[in-house]
Amino acid sequence: MITTRLRQAGPAAHRGGGYHRAMAMVASGRRLLTVSLTLLLLAGGLVASGRFQPAVGVPASAQAAAATVTGSVYTALPPTRLLDTRSTDQSLGPEAFVNLTVVGTGGSSVVPADASSVVLNLTVSDTTAPSYLTVWPAGASRPEVSNLNWTANETVSNLAIVQVGAAGQVTFYNEAGQAAVIADLEGYFAPPLSAAAAGSYIPLTPSRIADTRSGSGAPYAGSTLQANSSLIVQVTGVGTVPASGVAAVMVNLTVTDTTAASYLSVYPQGTSQPGTSDLNWTASQTVAHRALVPVSSSGQIVLYNRSGSAAVIVDVDGYFTSGSGPAAGGLYV
């Protein structure tokens, strides 16, 4: 089964073929398959310059073709803000770029020197003109793609996997107008330490594990998030998510019935609330967004809403292994 989420990019002048980005989750039994979309090559459900290596149940010919490529496993980190140009009053101007060091950073959890890619939640705010953001490995030529598109006076976010470039850095480029750029580190991919290393990806049949709208019939129905409030959501052992062996989950977050401009932060239960956001919106807006969220030892995550009230929906369609379960998944290449 393939599920996708597309968002219109706006003016045709934006990069990305007239679309914001596409998210694709692919599950066929225990297989990981590469899906070719019109706009860009995706597999495993993440915006990235890469794919997930075929693993369990894939024909021998496909396995042989992939054997020449070394895959990476995923390590989820507590969300950490690495870049916020608002803090220095230095918005990214037209045709401007900035380099960001990602290796060796991450607060208490450091991105190692052998990391191949990092997972970033990208947000732009205080925008003055229609434009787009491109993020790529430092030292390489700027690709003709976009990771994020917006119009004037809009705040938008998107999840991206970005290959690490020269000096452990990635580069951000803004095409037009002024924009404040925010980058939150969610995790990284690195070569596995062993054949049984944690961090391989397991696709799932999508399941709804939370829907706070009254009468939804789903878990947490009627638990709409109020201003400055949190909701603890059980992830493991719910829906199609196994009860053990889960380090992080791939979720699709949706907010609706919003009454004020606000943001949603999602993080592992039992940890401090991070100064990061996963989803941003204005009043009366319905917005969906992808997130890779580590789970606590009890298999729970926390949803935090800053202002107003909002109904929140959480759908899970895959997870990364902790190494304690029997399932084998795909490696990212």
Is residue 195 left, alpha or beta, with left meaning phi > 0 and alpha meaning psi from -120 to 50? alpha
Distance (Å, whole) CA 128 – CA 203: 39
Q: Domain segments of the chain: what residues?
A: 2-66, 73-190, 203-321
Q: What is the pLDDT along the chain (333 residues), one digit of tens a residue?
A: 223 333 333 333 334 333 333 333 333 332 333 232 222 222 333 333 344 444 444 444 444 443 444 678 899 888 999 999 998 878 999 999 999 999 987 666 689 999 999 999 999 999 999 999 999 999 999 999 899 999 999 999 999 999 999 999 999 999 999 999 999 999 999 988 776 667 888 888 889 999 999 999 999 999 999 999 999 999 999 998 999 999 999 999 999 999 999 999 999 999 999 989 999 999 999 999 999 999 999 999 999 999 999 999 999 989 998 876 555 566 766
Half-sphere exposure of residue 146: CA atoms within 13 angstroms, side-chain side: 27
Alpha helices by DSSP H, listed for 71-176, are none
pTM: 0.74
Task: Quickly name the fold that domain 73-190 has.
Answer: Jelly Rolls (2.60.120)
Task: Quickly name the fold that domain 203-321 has.
Answer: Jelly Rolls (2.60.120)
Q: Measuring CA to CA, which residue among 199, 247, 205 is closest to residue 30?
A: 205
Topology alike, domains 73-190 and 203-321: yes
Q: 267 φ, ψ to 5°?
A: -155, 165
DSSP 8-state assignment for residue 64: H
- Residue 111 CB partners (closer than 8 Å, separation 6+): 77, 102, 103, 104, 105, 118, 168, 185, 188
Distance (Å, whole) CA 309 – CA 120: 26
Q: How far apart are the first and last CA of the chain?
A: 22
